[in-house]
Every structure is written in C-alpha cells, then in structure tokens.
Structure 1
Amino acid sequence: MTRSPSTPLPPPKERRRLREATALTQDQLATRVGVTRQTVRAWESGRTTPRGRKREVYAKLLKTLAEQEAAQRAKPTPQPEPEPAAQPEPKPKPESESVMPKPEPVALTPAQAFDALYEFSAPALVRQTFLLTGRREAARESVERAFQAAWEQWPEVARDRDPVGWVRATAYEYALSPWQRFRPRHRHPEPPPADPGDRTLLNTLLRLPPRHRRTLVLYDGVGLGLPETAAETEASTPAAANRLLRARVTVADRLPALADPQVLHRRLAELASAERLWSAKPPAVRLVGERRARFWTRAAIAFTVALIGTTALTVRTAPTHYEPPVSRGEAVRGVPPRVAPGSLSDEELELRQKLRDQLQAGPERLTPGLE
C-alpha cells in the first residue's frame, strides 16, 4: 500500500504573513481550522508542523488566503474619469519614434550598496548591541567592526539572503567575545542610564549568561522567530526555546511587571531608544576597513618573506652530515696510581715453578685441538 505524500505548506513566516495580510487573528484562524490559538502560534513559529487532516485543512485555508491577497492586489483602484476635451489629432510619428524604450534601472556600485545597507541597519544594530554589552562605545565599535568585515567579504554578504542578519551575528560575536574583558576600556565603567527603571532592566540583562541574553534580545528585542533565533545563535530550536524561557523567568523574578512578553518587548525597545548612540559615516567605516585589510595583508606578506629567507639561510648554512661533539677533558680522581712491575719474591718464584711443573706433568692439562 503506497502512502500519499503530505500536503505542501508554505514556510512559517509566509503562514503568518498570509494571516496578517487578510486581517485574521490567531483565534479566528484557529476556529476555522479547529485547533487552539497556541497550536496556530506554534505552526507559525516553526516549532511544530500540522499533520493528517489538520494539515490538509490548514493548507487549503492558506491557499484561500493567498488567492484573496492576490485578488486584492490585482484589483485596480477606481479613479475618476477625466472629462473629454477637444484635442487635435496627433500627427503620425515615424516608426523609429513610435515606441520609446523604457529606461533601464540604475545598478548600484558595491560602495553604494554597502552605504545603503549601513545607513538602513547600523543605528538599530548599535541599539541592539547596547542591550548585550551595556556599553555605548563597545556597541558602536562592535557594529563598525562587523560592517568592516562585511565590506571585506562584500561579494558573499551581498548575495546572502539576509545581509542584516550576517552583520548582526558578526557584531554580537565581537561584542560578547571573552577577550573584551582584557581591554583597558573594559576596566572603566560607563555611566548607567538616567532612568531608574532602565537602569534596573539593564542590570538584569547583564546578569544573564551571554547565550541567554543574546537569545532574549533576538527573540523579544529584535522580534525574530524561534527557528531564526536558533540558527543565529548556532543552537537547536529546543535549546533556544529553553534559553529563552530561562531568561524570561530570570527577568520576571527581578521585574514582575515584565512577565508579559509584549511588555518586555516594549521595554527593551524603550531602553535601546532612550540612549544617545551614534555611528560613524559609511565612507569612514569603509576607509578604516580597507586600511586594516591592507595592513594585515602587508604584515602577512612580510612574515612570509621573512620565513622564506630564514628557511633559505638555514638550508644554506646547515651541515650536511653529523659530527659528534668532542667532549672536554676532565681529571679523574679516586683511581689508585698504576705501579710498575718489579722483581718477584722467593715465594712467588716458588709458586710459579710449582704451577709450571704440575701443568706440564699432570694428566689434566688441556691442549687445544680442532673438532
């Protein structure tokens, strides 16, 4: 028995967009499908996937919503018809002028595309990074370093599906690097926010572990979905959900008024917007990035040349065979002096004669022979 393939569904983001485009709430959509609001929310976030009959009903409903959206877009906007006026008949134009070519879209240069991306996303990224570090200068520097890395790899970043996400992930990695604590600037604390509520919220965020803090900022601050948050933090979806829940519990224990995710999202946005954060101009960022790239390129070339020269000198001057080292002479102590042989005594002479006689006449004398 062959099993029929499951009904295809659009991605989670498209499901939510179709619902919002047709002005449907999650409760209304859940009623039409026959499930709960929490189930619809899980489908739209990508945590779960509908199966069986619910999947078919959900797919048909999404298809209907897509058709309704397409019909609304295709419907022309009624405009008042202008009153007819007597106009002279137009003169016939030559064939070369009858069809005017449409102007082609102007393609942006790499520098213009980079500047547009920077001006669009840099201010928001600086505010988001401030929530991670609690330091204004560190947030600005992290975002600028991320954009400099993006400019060095611009062909790859320009083709990425989410260039802002690429830069954001790089900025967060730089801001949360453990090496930041060894910098002299890190030893001098910056003035806290003026508002007591903002100061308490920022201190609560900074007490969270870096991974939990980053997950909370991405999900409740930036507004990413759970799968996108998990992908950007390089974790599985269950792990990201666990970090998010733990971070929310910690914040709610310190600030009970922020137990609602909607209130927490609003407070994070207010905290990030209340600070006066600035960022450099796009040409300055590109210039600094190019200078740093040239410096490291020249340093790598100089190191390679020095390594080649050292290797050649070593090969030139190294011996071709092993020569054992000559040990240095030292005086040996504790050995008795060597005595020169002298004349034998009478007893020694008698003993020698006795031994000779016995060896010559006795039967025990052994004579060497060939076997």
Structure 2
Amino acid sequence: MPDSTPKLPSREFLAHIEQQISQAETLFKEGSLEAGLERVQSAVKDLDRVGVFGDVGLQVLEFRARMLGISGLAKLDRFDEMLREGAKMMDLLALDHPSSQRAELMTHLAFAYTQCGMSEQALRAAHVALQDGLQLKDRLLTAQALERLAMTYFAIGDGASAERFMFEALGYMDQHSPMYERVRRYSNALHLCCSLHDMYLQSGLEHLASAILRKVDGFVTEAEALRPELAGDYMGYMMRANLARWHRRCGRSQLARGAFLEVLAKSESAGWYAVRRPVLLELALMADAQGDGPVALELLTCVFEPGDLRVRDVVAIPTYRALERLYLASGQPDLAKVAQQGLAARQDRREKSAQAAQAQLPQLSTRIAEALAEADRARLDQVISGLREQRRQRKLKPPQDETWSG
C-alpha cells in the first residue's frame, strides 16, 4: 500500500525560503521597498505551493514571511491589503492565549486601521498587543504596542494621550534592547513629537507646541549617542532626518539645513526615496518660510521624482497642499488646480481603502474584539493569581501581637 503521508520540503527548499526572507529584509533596510516586497511575496507563494503540512517549523517560517510582507505593504501605504493579509494570518495563530506572534500581528493591524481612519479597531488591536507584551514580560513588544497607541491617539487628535503613550514606549526600551529597535523607537518618537508640535500650532496652542519640543530634550542626547552605531544604515539616516526636523522647529535652521543636506546626499546616492522625499519637503518648507517661493516650488516638485515610484501619503498630502498654496501665490492657477486634483485623488483613495476594509473584513474586527476580551481575561487572571500569592505569603508569616511593645 503506497505511503500517503505528505513529504516535508527538502532542506534545499527551506534554505531557499530563508534566503528570500533574508534578502527581503536587507532590501527593506536599504529602502528598496518594492523589490523587498516582491522578494518576500515570492517566498510566500513558494510556501503556499508546497503547503506547511501542519509542521510547526514551517508554520513559524510562513508567519515570519507573511509578517515581513505586511511590513512591506505598510511601507507602501497599501493598508487595505495589509488588513486582508492580516485576516489570513489569524488562521496561523492561537487566539485564546498570549503570544509574541499575536502581539506582532496586532501591532501591524493597529497601524493599518489607523491609516484607514478606523480608530476604534486600531485601539482594540493595539491593546491586545499591549496586554500580550505585558503578560509575556517582553519589553520590545510592549514598547511597540505603546507606540501604536500613541500614533492612534495622535490620529484622532488626542495629543495628551499620544504624548503619554509615546514616552511610556521609550521607557520600555533599555540598553539590552536590539540597537536597530532602539534607534527606531527614538526616531519614531522624534517624528511624532514634531507632528504633535505642528498639530498644536495649527490649533493655536502655541504653549503646547513649545512644551513638546522641550520634552524632547529628555531623550535627544541618548538618541544622538546611538546614531553612530548605525552611521551608514538606513534607519540611522532616518533618525538623523527626524533630529533635523526637531532642530528646525526649535529655530536652529542652520543646523537643521546642514543635517538635511547631508541626509539628502546620502539618500540620493543610496536610492532611499522613503528618506529623501520627506527631507525635500522639509527643505521646501524652510525655503518658503524664508520667502524663497521659486526654490520651494522646485524642491516640492522633486518630491514626486522618479514618477514611477509612489510617494507615501504622509509626504504626498502635505506636498500637494504646499504646491497648491505656492502656485496660487505665484499666479499659476492652472498648476494649483493640478496640485489640488492630486490631493483630492489621494484623499479619495484613502477613503475608499477604509470603506473597502470596513465592508470586506467585518469578521477581522470581530476576531480582534474576541482576542481583546481573551487578553483582558488573561491579564485579570494574572492579577488574581498575584493577589492569591500575596495572601498565601501573608499566611506563612508568624502572627504579630500588636498589643505588645517593648
């Protein structure tokens, strides 16, 4: 009778998948986003073709590949696709107990939901990740979840909560955390502080705008000290750019410009468009503030070059707004209309992406809510267990005669 047991993939196949994942990770770190996503999606297709046969090792490999793919989709603003992929990945997880995999997935889903304007679902997903990180006593997972909460609260205009969770996220990082992750936390914190500053200014809250810049003083020295560790790395230059954003808002224009130009030169030579484009936007805003409209317009148009590589919404939307304003100010209404149409197209796409996610993935929101309920229950069980242990310890202590004194 022939053996019907499915054969596990060969060592050569596993090595091939590992190589694809490693190459994708390198491409992402170098800023080659499309190439990195293509490489990891190829690995996922290969895994789908052979199947994982219930093998734990293969399931872990598949989860790693799919998570990397979700990360790539995030970098390319393909948030509805992130959510669809996240729904598939739910089947790879046990949702009835905390795990690092569940926390990692929920952190990414929180980001996607926030970008789609679905703040309630984003907060639920981030809270699942936070509960898992705390219960597993994993400082990195906890920091990542807190950072997602900060970002979500910022998106809904709650600056106070965004600040609180952001600084709590920094508090969970220590000298034992991976260097790359430490730099990324500081870089993201700097970026969020600058964004909060801009939001406060637009709301007429100058005192809060000044206060958030001063709060950065508490961690910027340590952030600067870490930068040489990743001196030639993509993330190192990203943090350098965010430090320059902070310097600009603090009024240190010359220092900021020098840093921006250094980052611009490196990002152009390395092809790091995700770094180059926001730097061009910042330099354009600096030129505009100094009354040099023509230079500002030239820099803003360069943001969209090369034209075959999509610009992230977080950069494209403020760039279109600045272009529309400057074209109108310079007497070029036709070009201002083109910029306005570009802005409208971006906003329409984001709205449709959110509508598609809401319509196509209601079961994903339900499963996240169920996971949150389970995470809360597990957290409560942990608290109750701790209280019981405290009572047990008290019972073991010899009774004290409170009436005796000597």
Query: Structure 2 length normalisation: TM-score?
Result: 0.18
Query: Structure 1 length normalisation: TM-score?
Result: 0.19
Higher percent of residues as helix: 2
